[in-house]
Amino acid sequence: MTTMWSSLEHRGEHCASCAGERVFEQPPCPDGHEPGECPEWACAECGHALIFDLPGVPAVRPTVSV
């Protein structure tokens, strides 16, 4: 019940587009990352993409708005 902000597939982050705290989720990854490993997250409200530069994970892909 209290895992909304701490699961591998959802996390709370500030969305620049929504100008507030939103739930981010990981979209289907074409790179074959496992849930929790992919640096790409998308706002569940507006789809705004965030790239989190995880240690050991190259994140050089530019943000693409859908």
Give the interface with Zn ion as residue ranges (CB under 5 A). 15, 17-18, 22, 29, 31, 33, 38, 43, 45-46, 48
User: Do residues 32 and 53 touch, judged by C-beta distance below 8 A?
Assistant: no
Nearer to Zn ion, 1 or 58 (CB): 58
Nearer to Zn ion, 8 or 29 (CB): 29
* Residue 61: CA count within 13 A, CB half-sphere: 16
As measured in angstroms, the least distance from the Cβ of 18 to Zn ion is 3
The identity of residue 15, as a single letter, is: C
For residues 8 and 65, what is the distance between their CA atoms, to the nearest angstrom?
Answer: 23
As measured in angstroms, the least distance from the Cβ of 11 to Zn ion is 13
- 3 state DSSP class of 43: strand
Nearer to Zn ion, 11 or 43 (CB): 43
